[in-house]
């Protein structure tokens, strides 16, 4: 197996020693993208937030620094990713601010109407049944709660970036979408008030949507 194939497999589901390195590397590699994505959403210090496909836990740490009386949850189906996230966020876990568990987006272990904000950074590409999985996210969001998707690979107008994204999507056998398609799949799952933000030069996209009252 070639290096790029190995890399894309590890990004899809980090495992073992290499997976640990990749999960930590994604924390660094995705930091600017995540900060840009989150600049479009308002976070209240009392919010309950879930990060799906939390990888190395960098975004959990980012959220934990923003809240006072809220709580941050992280979930990932990779045991290696959960271990790295737990290590990175140890002090917040001890303080009772953060909880991280192993599980799939398709069956989230949370009650209905629970979260103010749910996020997925560089994650949705790998979800097994996008519409069904988005409906599962809709279920656990509070009415008026927000869902944010932040990605660096999409079908953008910047042709150089688009070609790069298409190459990875082919190699990893995962879908990428146009901004219009983001609107369609979010609407199909029940979300409304959809806002799309694009960073042309980098080829980044953020989609923010809401669960209706």
Ligand X SMILES: C[S@@+](CC[C@H](N)C(=O)[O-])C[C@H]1O[C@@H](n2cnc3c(N)ncnc32)[C@H](O)[C@@H]1O
Q: Are 206 and 39 in contact (CB under 8 A)?
A: no
Shortest separation between residue 160's beta carbon and ligand X, angstroms: 21
The CA distance from 203 to 89, in Å, is 30
* Residue nearer to ligand X on the CB measure, 106 or 157: 106
* Residue nearer to ligand X on the CB measure, 10 or 212: 10
**Would you state the structure tokens that stand for residue 165, as one six-digit string?**
């994204």
* Residue nearer to ligand X on the CB measure, 132 or 212: 132
* Residue nearer to ligand X on the CB measure, 30 or 48: 30
Shortest separation between residue 151's beta carbon and ligand X, angstroms: 9
- In angstroms and rounded to an integer, the radius of gyration of the C-alpha atoms of the chain is 16
Q: Are 146 and 209 in contact (CB under 8 A)?
A: yes
Shortest separation between residue 88's beta carbon and ligand X, angstroms: 11
Interacting residues toward ligand X by CB under 6 A? 11-14, 26, 30, 52-56, 58, 76-78, 81, 104-105, 121-123, 126-128
The CA distance from 10 to 138, in Å, is 28
**Would you state the structure tokens that stand for residue 103, as one six-digit string?**
């599980």
Q: Measure the CA angle with vertex 79, ends 73 and 85; round to 5°.
A: 45
Shortest separation between residue 213's beta carbon and ligand X, angstroms: 28
* Residue nearer to ligand X on the CB measure, 20 or 30: 30
Q: Which residue, judged by CB position, is nearest to ligand X in the bound state?
A: 55
Give buried/exposed letters for 10-27 (b at 16+ CB in 10 A, else e): bbbbbbeeebbebbbbbb
Shortest separation between residue 135's beta carbon and ligand X, angstroms: 14
H or E element in which residue 64 lies:
helix 58-64
* Residue nearer to ligand X on the CB measure, 54 or 196: 54
Helix axes 3-12, 16-29, angle to 10 degrees: 80
**Would you state the structure tokens that stand for residue 94, as one six-digit string?**
């001890």
Shortest separation between residue 53's beta carbon and ligand X, angstroms: 3
């Amino acid at each position: 197996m070639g290096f790029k194939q190995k890399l894309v497999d590890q990004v899809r589901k980090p495992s073992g020693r290499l997976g640990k390195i990749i999960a930590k590397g994604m924390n660094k590699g995705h930091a600017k993208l995540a900060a840009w994505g989150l600049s479009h959403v308002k976070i209240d210090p009392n919010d309950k937030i879930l990060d799906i496909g939390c990888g190395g836990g960098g975004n959990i740490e980012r959220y934990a620094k923003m809240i006072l009386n809220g709580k941050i949850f992280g979930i990932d189906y990779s045991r290696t990713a959960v271990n790295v996230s737990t290590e990175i966020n140890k002090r917040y876990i001890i303080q009772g601010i953060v909880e991280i568990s192993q599980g799939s987006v398709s069956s989230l272990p949370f009650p209905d109407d629970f979260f103010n904000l749910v996020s997925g950074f560089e994650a949705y590409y790998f979800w097994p049944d996008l519409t069904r999985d988005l409906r599962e996210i809709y279920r656990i969001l509070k009415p008026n709660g927000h869902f944010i998707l932040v990605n660096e690979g999409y079908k953008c107008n910047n042709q150089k970036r688009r070609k790069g994204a298409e190459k990875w999507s082919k190699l990893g056998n995962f879908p990428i979408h146009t901004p219009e398609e983001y609107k369609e799949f979010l609407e199909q799952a029940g979300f409304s008030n959809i806002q799309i933000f694009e960073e042309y030069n980098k080829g980044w996209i953020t989609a923010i949507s809401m669960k209706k009252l």
